[in-house]
Amino acid sequence: MPKPSRSRFPIRVGVIGYGFIGRELVKRLRADPKRFALAFVHARRRDQASDIADADFLADLTDVGLKPVDLIVETAHPVITHRHGAGILQQCDYMPLSTTALTDDSLRASLCGMAAQHGTRLLLAAGALIGGEEMEKRSVPWVRARITFRKHPANIDFSDVDIDPATLTMATTIFEGSVRDIAGRYPRNVNTMVTAALLSTGVDACEGVLIADPALDCAIAEVEAWGEDGSYIRTEKRQPAKGVSGTEMVDSVWGSICRSFGISNKPFVFV
């Protein structure tokens, strides 16, 4: 299959996962046929994507090489990157939204090596992160970074920990430690933390705090970073939550997709 072209339209995009984010991305791809084309949709079960035509449904991700595709966006689970990330990067650019998979140092190194070998890209979407550009562009090292999430218990996935959300009747710090550790316990809740960690001090040094607060009607993400030269940045973002993601997540991911191919609807270009 030909390698992805970044100067040809429409850009062919495959979507893995067909939950809230996956469905919204498919809608946007179809709404912009001059610039984008849906390469395929993959879901665990065919009935989860019953509105997708058979020709556009990819049942087995090991067959991704049979589809002409420029970019694949993972919206499902970090296990996808573990199992299929390397194979995807042999074919096209890859944007995993479940970035907790990238806390595995050997996997991350392997994926970066595969991308370099095949002329593809491992793309790190901004997601809910505010201030990522500032973190990434600094030449002076960051010496400390701390990310705090505050969410209603209903918007936290407790399936990998022994906590009953019904017992959380007031604001409770349910985790405080390294981003690597929190990613292992709450893999579907802290992708933005992982992104911030990779852009700053790394997943071991970067601090992650998760607070469950039943009084909240929104999700709050606070990012702090301290520079070696005494500089300091702090951002705070509040947004309504849908499931474990904020409602703004789709806009952010769509913006990342467009920027990765040099596409903008704005009269100016923010660089």
pLDDT on residue 267: 57
**Within 1-149, where are the H helices?**
20-31, 79-89, 105-118, 132-137
Is the pTM above the cut of 0.85? Answer: yes
Sequence-ordered list of residues with C-beta below 8 angstroms from that of 95, at least 6 positions apart, any chain: 71, 72, 73, 74, 123, 124, 125, 253, 256, 257, 260
pLDDT on residue 123: 95
Domains and CATH numbers, the chain: 11-128+249-260 (3.40.50.720), 132-246 (3.30.360.10)
Rg (CA), the chain: 19
Distance CA(125)–CA(79), nearest Å, equals: 18
In this structure, what DSSP letter does residue 178 have? E
pLDDT on residue 138: 75
Choose among 169, 157, 235: nearest CA to 200: 235
pLDDT on residue 106: 97
Residue-wise pLDDT tens digits, 55-68: 999 999 999 999 99
pLDDT on residue 204: 97
Distance CA(65)–CA(48), nearest Å, equals: 23
Residues of the chain short of pLDDT 70, as ranges, are: 1-7, 128, 242-247, 264-271
